[in-house]
Amino acid sequence: MSKFRTEVDSMGEVQVPADAYYSAQTQRAVENFPISGWHLPVALIRAMGRVKLACATVNNDLGKLTGTGKNPLDAKQVQAMCAACQEIIDGKMDDQFPVDVFQTGSGTSSNMNINEVISNRAIEILGGNRLDKVKPIHPNDHVNMGQSTNDTFPTAIHVAAAYEIHTKLIPQLERFHASLSQKAKDWDKIIKIGRTHLMDATPLRLGQEFGGFARQIALSIERAKVAAKAVYELPVGGTAVGSGINTHPEFGKRVGQALAKQTGIPFVEAADHFEANAQRDGLVESHGQLKTIAMSLFNIANNIRWLGSGPRCGFFEVILPDRQPGSSIMPGKVNPVMCESMMQLTARVIGNDATMTLSGAAGGNFQLNIMMPVMGHAILESVHLLSNGISAFIEFCMDGLEANPVACEASVEQSLSMVTSLNPYIGYEKAAKLTKEAFASGKTIRELCIEQNILDKDVLSKALDPFSMTEPQG
């Protein structure tokens, strides 16, 4: 049995793998773009299925599919087409999308890929032969009815991005916030030394430090919501250039409503289809929020890495879980691998933001942006990395992270910045002189104050109480 079959499109014959649900135009794209081996993200493929299902449903409700136009469908054919869309949404056809990310800039190859798959699978569902040259359910006339790649492909990117942010990223951020908040509560009584410019500073509580991290993630949750909101407006209904040629006036509005119902996300028709077709500003804005989230995650992971440094020659104020041997030559060494993993993946997200920015700025010429596949890939990769990275960090680092009160408290009394609380009593200049004397002699601020009888014993004890230094004194 032949491994290939002959398919025909407007440019002639093409040899397509015999068992493929896609047809000629997809195969041409596979041959034209042997670039990276990266296919569209699964999340985008399934979002394309959602868009095609919404379009089919709306076209049917408007009487377009079963109307008096060329080759109208009957009710069973419409049902089969919708069933094929649902199979794509459910992930049953993931292996039928072989086109490289670095393809035609509008995503036409991938739009035709899904049109062909839906067409052939719907024919098969009805008991027909998907290999027949004449398609009773046509990829262009029926599956792509009232649509252009130029409006449906960016719509799918918006749907995928918002859906992944809502269902994956935000829940993981909420888990991370809860974890950090619990550490902040549990460690609220542990005094440690602060550090600014990497140098000793006044005391604070370990719980306060982790409370600061928790606040970063609380703000990240709000940024993730803004990231999703930035892509709620959908280009669908603008067709080729934003004018809506060959589609019903209510099509875009109804498709937006159908997608909102499918996903539970408040998608709406774009306010201006010429802007929505031509520009990808919303995607750039959305990813900008993801970049900021990545920056916060990098910062938190890096701080925890430093706090756990040691165990004997570093800070070692927190004890990171042992996850794996850390060295091929130094026996017993254990490294902060989860922090390092988080820092690497967030660096990738920050890099993706450069791709998004350049693609949005330079790719939107006249009525179409021609950088959409790589933008879809970049934003969905970023959401995927952030979501999975946070999940792993919680499970393999945060859940087993312990405080080391002995190490935290050991350096507090030795800090020269303890002198700061004496400013109201002896003034800045005298305090600075005391600091230099303490450093030169190796004595603590408290020891010098007692030796020189600088303050009454009770006043000195109150002034140099480390816990009181962690809060405003009035």
Q: Which residue has the tokens 């919680």?
A: 394
* β-strands 233-234, 12-17 pairing: unpaired
Q: What span, in angstroms and rounded, lies between the C-alpha atoms of 347 and 386? A: 11
Which of 287, 281, 245 shows the shortest CA–CA distance to 154?
281
Torsion angle of alpha carbons 201, 308, 385, 294, nearest 10°?
0
Q: What span, in angstroms and rounded, lies between the C-alpha atoms of 254 and 158? A: 16
The contacts of residue 460 (CB under 8 Å, 6+ apart) are 446, 449, 450, 454
Which residues are paired to 13 by β-bridges? 8
Q: Are 39 and 49 within 8 A, CB to CB?
A: no
Question: Is 327 annotated in the active site?
Answer: yes
From the candidates 327, 441, 461, 468, give the one annotated as an active-site residue: 327
Question: Is 197 annotated in the active site?
Answer: yes
From the candidates 2, 10, 197, 328, give the one annotated as an active-site residue: 197
Q: Which residue has the tokens 């709620």?
A: 232
Q: How many CB atoms lie within 10 A of CB 42?
A: 14
Q: What span, in angstroms and rounded, lies between the C-alpha atoms of 101 and 378? A: 10
And the tokens for 10? 């407007």
Which residues are paired to 39 by β-bridges? 100
Q: How many CB atoms lie within 10 A of CB 57?
A: 20
The contacts of residue 268 (CB under 8 Å, 6+ apart) are 232, 233, 234, 253, 256, 260
Q: Sign (positive/negative) of CA torsion 313, 315, 316, 321?
A: negative
Count the residues in the chain: 474
Q: What span, in angstroms and rounded, lies between the C-alpha atoms of 256 and 273? A: 13
**Catalytic residue positions?**
197, 327
